[in-house]
Amino acid sequence: MSIVLAAVSLVQEQWAQARSYCERALPLVIAKSNPQRLAITLFYLSRARFELGDHEQGMQDAQKALALFRDIQDEQWEALTKQYLAEMQARSEH
């Protein structure tokens, strides 16, 4: 449930709230050994952290998510994550 709330918070640009939901969800997702949910959680967390100014950690989280999406061959999420990583890299260079 926290991951759904994180997604809603991201859409509403409530970055701190999204980060909080993701950070709460992360241990549960790890414990359940679900690589897709872990990758999605990391993707959402990367966005929240990046928008809150933690560019390095945000990009690291996105890279971890990308690796997981590749491992499970989720092409849609992989493409989305690549796009967001490129956007983060461009924004962090300015």
CATH number at residue 71: 1.25.40
pLDDT tens column, 26-63: 999 999 989 999 999 999 999 999 999 999 999 999 99
Q: What is the pLDDT of residue 39?
A: 97
Query: What is the per-residue pLDDT for 27?
Result: 93
- Mention every residue, 6+ apart, whose C-beta is less than 8 A from residue 13: 51
Domain count, the chain: 1
Query: Percent of the chain, pLDDT > 90?
Result: 89
Q: Which residue has the tokens 């990367």?
A: 46
How high is the pLDDT of residue 42?
97
Domain enclosing residue 86, as ranges: 2-92
Q: pTM of whole model > 0.85? A: yes
